[in-house]
Amino acid sequence: MMILQIMMIENGLGKDVWRVPRESIDSFLLYQWITIILYTPQVTFVKYALSSRDKLVTSIMFLLGLVATVAAGVRIALVHKFLYTTNFTYENAEFDVLYFVEISICVTCACVPSCARLARKTWRTIRGYEDSHPASFDTLNAWRGGHRAGPAGHGGIQISQSFSQKRTTGSHAVSHDAEDEVELIDGAFSLRPDRQKMQYSIALEEAFALPRMKEQTERWASLFAVDGQKHAREVTDIAEIRTKYMDEYGVGYQILSYTAPGVQDIYDPKEAHSFAREINDYVAEQIKGKEDRFGCFATLSMHDPSEAAAELERCVLKLGFKGALVNDTQRSGQDGDDMIFCDGPEWDVFWETCTKLDVPFYLHPRNPTGTMFEKLWKDRKWLIGPPLSFAQGVGLSLLGMVTNGVFDRHPNLQIIIGHLGEHIPPDL
């Protein structure tokens, strides 16, 4: 074992072996493979640079592993010398088994975790991914706007060549804390551990609110924002603050949508429809001339299927919107305590319009209001939003569409669910 430690020092510590969980070493062959990797000459590990913190952690773990291994060797030597003792462990275990277990644990503690980055890069190489895969704007535009057929003049996300040159030659730098990022390249995802900035990324679910609703926006923001006033200023701005943030953080294109609960909290049908049209006309005017940076999902009142279908068609064909975003169930009834679900046959006319226009429908959660809030969430405010209420609401709506045959009747319907699927994938 001392020879092994010396060879590791001479040929490289294996760099990121410290990040492989011990429980993932589940076979003797894998253990042998890792020890072989550790003998790889240092020169092959040069490109896998570690931060100063990682180097310090690696060195400390190596020293601890070295001490543990030496201690294990001394212990085994003593066991060999005094083979039979009063220790029941020695009496009930074969010497070779004890030797294998102790040495394996010590070597694992000292060496194994540093295979993480090497294994990650090896896997990505096998899958055909590269650390840096610059995509041309023509290719990106082909994927974003030209990969699906649809009515002319809508549905595609196009970014001008002038913006391409601006982004590729700009001086904006972004620092990310995440270990890995995901970049959309030619329609595929590529893991990028090099922490480069995300260029040309498309951001969905980018909320906005009408300036005249600023007071209400601040009130809703108090549920999740540290500074409600700051949030209200930012979410009611479309052109200036938002564009500055986009440039700073490498976002090439945003698809805007009205903030929750929005129109879905208005239980008077006429008021809801009027408010939805106001929102759609407002945002269309705000992004006019900025179509290379912004698109929009239509805001819809979901009181009446035919009315919702007509507004969606107007927004897509006349205003150039990319689809629709609805904040879960629609409040309705005289006192607002009823809920409208869109999974019944009466909603087929709306879903047919979505498929005819070939645009997605984003099913977004909303904050609980009215009697629902008073009875279920008032005394459980920490469960409002991502912890539970979002997933509970959207999960019921989406699975209701599944079980009530919406996708059987409309197999080409495109539904977007945010927030990692609102608990549905892990539940399945």
Contacts of 210 (CB under 8 A, 6+ apart): 236, 278, 279, 282
236 lies in the same domain as 321:
yes
* Domain limit, last residue, from 102, 126, 150: 126
324 lies in the same domain as 214:
yes
In a domain, 164, yes or no: no
In a domain, 135, yes or no: no
The pLDDT value recorded for residue 113 is 55
In a domain, 265, yes or no: yes
In a domain, 192, yes or no: no
72 lies in the same domain as 219:
no
75 lies in the same domain as 219:
no
In a domain, 89, yes or no: yes
120 lies in the same domain as 204:
no
Q: pLDDT digit string (tens) for 257-304?
A: 998 888 998 989 999 999 999 999 999 999 999 999 999 999 999 999
325 lies in the same domain as 415:
yes
- For residue 85, the number of C-alpha atoms closer than 13 Å in the C-beta half-sphere is 13
114 lies in the same domain as 202:
no
* Domain limit, last residue, from 107, 126, 145: 126
* Domain limit, last residue, from 85, 102, 126: 126
In a domain, 170, yes or no: no
340 lies in the same domain as 222:
yes
111 lies in the same domain as 243:
no
274 lies in the same domain as 357:
yes
The answer to whether 256 and 294 have CB atoms below 8 angstroms apart is: yes
CATH of the domain at 247: 3.20.20.140
In a domain, 155, yes or no: no
**pTM (predicted TM-score):** 0.56
In a domain, 169, yes or no: no
Q: Structurally, how many domains does the chain consist of?
A: 2
The pLDDT value recorded for residue 166 is 36
Q: List the domain range (segments joined by +) for residue 37.
A: 2-126
Give pLDDT < 70 ranges for the chain.
1-51, 54-55, 58, 76, 78-122, 124-200, 221-225
201 lies in the same domain as 90:
no
Core vs surface per residue 71-97: b (16+ CB within 10 A) or e: ebbeebeebeeeeeeeeeebeeeeeee
